[in-house]
Chains A and B, each alone.
Chain A
Amino acid sequence: MGKILLVEDNQMNRDMLSRRLRRKGFEVLLATDGQDGVSMARSDAPDLILMDMSLPTMDGWTAARLLKSETATCTIPIIALTAHAMHGDRDKALDAGCDEYETKPVNLARLLRKIEALTQKGDRVAT
C-alpha cells in the first residue's frame, strides 16, 4: 500500500479521512495548510496527495500549481478535495494541475477507485 499526503485544515475531516485510509492499509501523512503540504511533498515524496482547496496560508490551487511546476514533485498525482459541487470548481482544480477531483463528504469507495487508478497510472509511467 502507498503513502498518501492528506492536506486538510479541518481537524475533524482530517481525523476521519486519515482513519479510513489507514484502515485500508495506507500510510497517511498529515499537513494542515498549503505551505506545509508543499514542504511535506518535497521532503516525504508521497505516492499521492489529497488536497483540500480552501486552505489557510496557501490555498490548494496555489499549492497544486507550485507542486506541478517543480521537477521533484510534478509526477505526484493530486486529488482535489472540496465541498464545491459545481463544474467550474472541478475545472478550476484541474487547471491548477490536479489530476482528479472529489467532493466532500468523501465517498470512500469512489475515492479509493480514483487513488488506485492514479497510482497504477504512475507505476506504469515509472516502468
Chain B
Amino acid sequence: MFQKLKARLRYRLDDVFVRSPSSQFFLLVLLSIVVVLLGMTAYFFGLFSPQNADVDGIGRKIDSGLWDSLWWSLKHMLDPGFFEENYGATTPVAVISLLIAIMGMVIFGILIGFISTSMETRLASLQRGNSAVIETGHVLILGWSNKILLILRLLARTRAGLRVVVLARPEIAHMQESLRAAGILSLPIKVILRSGLPSNILELRRVAFEHARSIIVLAASTRESESSGRDVEAIKTAMLLSSFQDWRGSKPVLVSEINHKQNVAIARIAGRNEISIVSSSEVISKIIVQAARQSGLSFVYSEILSSAGNSICVTRVPNCIGRRFGDIQYGFSDSIPIGISWQQEENGVVRYVAGLNPEPDYTLDPDDQLVLLSRTGRVQYDERVKPHVTRIARSGKHEKRPLNRILLLGFNDDVYDILNEFDGHLAAGTRIDLVSNYLEEDATARLERHTPRPFRNIRISFRQGDTVSAAFLRSLDVSSYDCIITLADESNDDDPDARNIMVLLLLTDILRSGPAAHNVHVVSEMHDPRNRELVTRTVANEIIVSPEIVSMQLSQISQQPVLESIYRELLSAGGIEICLKSAGSYVEMHQPCTFSDLQCSAQEKMEIAVGVRIAAPAGRIENEHGVQLNPRRDMVWRFGPGDDVVVLAQEIYD
C-alpha cells in the first residue's frame, strides 16, 4: 500500500517536473511556504520564552507571537547566515533554526539551478528559432536551397528595409553562417530565421504566414530531391497554403518552385490555381535553348529578370486610356509598352492575365494596365508626343542561323527538358549528340524514363567519355557543330562548375586553334554566379547561371504574380518571343536611324522593337555582348552587318 502510494507520488512529482517551467516554479514556492510554516512551529517550542530573551536573532517588535515567528522563520530560510545569531537559544529553537537554514539552502540551490536551466533552455530555443515571429507584411521564404541567397540579394535591391522570414529544415546556426559568408547580413533587409518543417501548419503559424505579403516556396536542391521524393515537400506546402482560408488582411502572393517539369501538373492541382508555379528545370531548359538558337539572348533575359537595368513591370497609365497601343509607343522616354494586362475571372478565381504584343490598333480600356519594359520603374507618358512616321526602307530579310548539329557536353536533370524544348524549336532531322560519363545504355534508359513520348524533330545519339580530356574532345570534332552546350555535369562526382570550367578552357584551346571558331556558338550553364567571371575570356558566348535565373523569376513573381504568365509566354516555343533579327530587315544599312525608326518599322511587321545589339569588332568582346535594351531615344545608329534589332514577335515552329 505504502509502496503504491510512494510510486504514485513520485509519478505525480515527475509529471510536474517535466511540465512547463511555471509548474516547477509553483512547486518551489509551495515548498518554501511549507518550510516557513515548519519554522513557525518554533513558537510552540518556546521561541519567545524568557530563556531566549537575550538571543539577538529573535525579534519581538511586532507581537511576540505569530507575525514575529513568521518573520523569524522567513529570515532563516532566506539567509542561512542568521543561524549564527541564535547563539544561546534553547535547544529546540536552535535545532529548528538549523533545519530551516539547511532547507533554505536547498531551496535556493534549486532556485538557482532552475533559473540557470531556464536561461539555457531559452537560449537553446532561440538558437533553434523556436519562438514565434511577430511580423506583418513580411516576405516569407519556405525552404532552403542555393537560390535563397540570390533571392535575398534581389529582394534587398528592390525593396530596402524589407523584412524576410525564412522557415527551413537546416539548423539556424548553419543558415546564419551561410548568410554571413554570402554577405547577406550587411544588406538593407532584416532576415529572421526559423528552423522547422514548412509543410506543417503549426510551424507556418510560428512564422506568421497568415500576415505575410508574399510567400515563396523553394524546392529542395535537385540532388537532394532525388532521395527525398522529388518536390514532395514543396507540393505539400503548396497544398497547405492553397487550402488555407483564414488570411489576415489580403491574401499574400504565393509562388512555388518545382524542380521537375513533370511535377508541375501535380503542383498546379495542389495549388488550385492560386499559386504561381515556377518549374526550375523548365525555365533553365527554355533559356538554354533560346540562348543556343539566338546569340545574345541570354543577356537580354539576364537583364530583364534581374532588378538592375531594364525589367518588366505592370502598371496603370491613366493618360493612355482611349489611345491606340501603336500610338502610345513613342510617348515614353524610358519605358517601352510591350503588352496589356487586365483582371479576368476563371472558375471563380479572379486573376490578372496579360497579352503581349497586341495589335497596334488595340484601343486601351479603363481597366487595362500596361506591361512595360522599364529602366527606372517610374513610368512617365508624354501624351503630347505624336506617333512617329518615317519612310521605311529595308536592306534585306532576316536569315535564321542554321542549327543542324548540336553537341551537349554533360548530363544533369535538366537534360530531358532541354531535349524536349529543342524538339519543339528545331527543324526535323536536327542531330543532337549527348556526351557524358554515363554508359550509352544508362543514358538511353534515363531518357526513356523521363521522356515517354518519342521526339518529333530531333535525333539523339549518346556517347560515353571524359569531357575534361583534351584528346577525347578533339576526337569529337567539336568545330563541326553549329552549337555546343556545356551543362553543369552531374554524371560524375566532381563539382559541376569546376568540371564545366575545365571543359570550356579545353574547348577554347581547340576552337581558337581551328579555322571554324567563329561559327560555333557555345552556351554554358553554371551553378555558381561567382564562376561567371572566370569564363568570360573563354569561347562561351552565353553563360547561364541556372539558380540565378530561377531566383530572379521567383523574386519577381513574388512581387507581381502576373509576370508568371508573361515569362511563360516569352520562353515557350511558339507564341510571342523575344528575338534578335538582323537590323537590315528593319532599316537601311549604314544610314542614320533612331530607335523611333526601329519602333515604327517593327510595328509595320506587327512586332515591338525593344532594343538593339551592336556586333563587336573582330577580336573584341563588348559588354553584355553589345545588347542595349530600351536605348536612349536621342541615339543615332548606322547599322552594319551582324547588328541586330531585339524585337518581341509572334514566332511559329513546325
> When chains A and B are docked, how far (Å) is the Cα of A9 from the Cα of B497?
38
| Contact between chains at A54 and B574 (CB < 8 Å) | yes
* In contact, A12 and B354 (Cβ under 8 angstroms): yes
Q: Which residues of A contact B342 (CB under 8 A)?
A: 19
**CB-based contact B651/A83 at 8 Å:** yes
The answer to whether the Cβ of B358 comes within 8 Å of any Cβ in the partner chain is yes
Chain B window 618-647, contacts with chain A (Cβ cutoff 8 Å), 1 for yes, 0 for no: 000000000000000000000000000000
- The digit string for A5-27, where 1 denotes a CB below 8 A from any CB of B, is 00000111101100110010000
Q: Which residues of the other chain, B, contact A13 by a CB distance below 8 angstroms? A: 575
Q: Is the CB of A16 within 8 A of B358?
A: yes
Taking CB as reference atom, which chain B residue is nearest A104?
B650
Contact status B574-A105, CB under 8 Å:
no
In this complex, what residue of B is CB-closest to A18? B344
Count how many chain A residues have C-beta atoms less than 8 Å from C-beta atoms of the other chain.
19
Q: How far apart are the CA atoms of A20 and B354 in the complex, in Å?
A: 13
Chain B residues near A108 (CB-CB < 8 A):
359, 361-362
Give the size category of B's interface with A: 20 to 34
Quick check: A12 and B565 within 8 Å, CB to CB? yes
Are B361 and A12 closer than 8 Å at their CB atoms? no
Q: Contact partner of B353 among A15, A23, A82, CB < 8 A?
A: A15
A126 contacts chain B at the CB level, 8 A cutoff = no
> Is B576 close to A, CB under 8 A?
yes
A16 partner, pick from B355, B361, B652, beta carbons under 8 A? B355
- Verify if A106 is at the interface (C-beta below 8 Å from B): yes
Is A12's CB under 8 angstroms from B650's CB?
Answer: no
Q: In the complex, which of the residues B355, B574, B606 has the most CB atoms of chain A within 10 Å of its own CB atom?
A: B355
Are A82 and B357 closer than 8 Å at their CB atoms?
no
Note all chain A residues with C-beta closer than 8 A to B358: 16, 105
| Chain B residues with CB under 8 A of A121 | none
Query: Is A42 an interface residue when CB atoms closer than 8 A count as contact?
Result: no
Chief secondary structure at chain B's binding surface:
mixed
CA distance A1 to B604 in the complex (A): 31
Q: How far is the CA of A106 from the CA of B358 in the complex (A)?
A: 9
Pair A105/B353 contact, Cβ less than 8 Å: no
Q: A19-B355, A82-B652, A83-B652 are in contact. Are A105 and B606 (CB under 8 A)?
A: yes
Question: Measured between alpha carbons, how far is A12 from B353 in the docked complex, in Å?
Answer: 8
- With A19-B342, A19-B355 in contact, do A12 and B365 touch (Cβ < 8 Å)? no
Within 8 A of B (CB), among A71-123: 82-84, 104-109
Complex contacts, B565 vs chain A, CB 8 Å: 11-12
Measured in the bound complex, the distance between the Cα atoms of B565 and A104 in whole Å is 19
Known contacts A15-B353, A83-B651; A107 and B575 CB within 8 A of each other: no
The distance in angstroms between the C-alpha atoms of A106 and B575, with both chains bound, is: 12
User: Which chain A residues in 5-58 approach chain B with CB under 8 Å?
Assistant: 10-13, 15-16, 19-20, 23, 54
Q: Is B569 located at the chain interface by the 8 A CB criterion?
A: yes
Q: What chain B residues lie within 8 Å of A82 (beta carbons)?
A: 652
Tell whether, in the assembled complex, residue B652 and residue A12 are in contact, meaning their CB atoms are under 8 Å apart: no
B241 at the A/B interface (Cβ < 8 Å)? no
6 contacts across the A-B interface (CB closer than 8 A): A12-B354, A15-B355, A19-B344, A19-B355, A104-B652, A109-B361
A interface list, Cβ under 8 A from B? 10-13, 15-16, 19-20, 23, 54, 82-84, 104-109
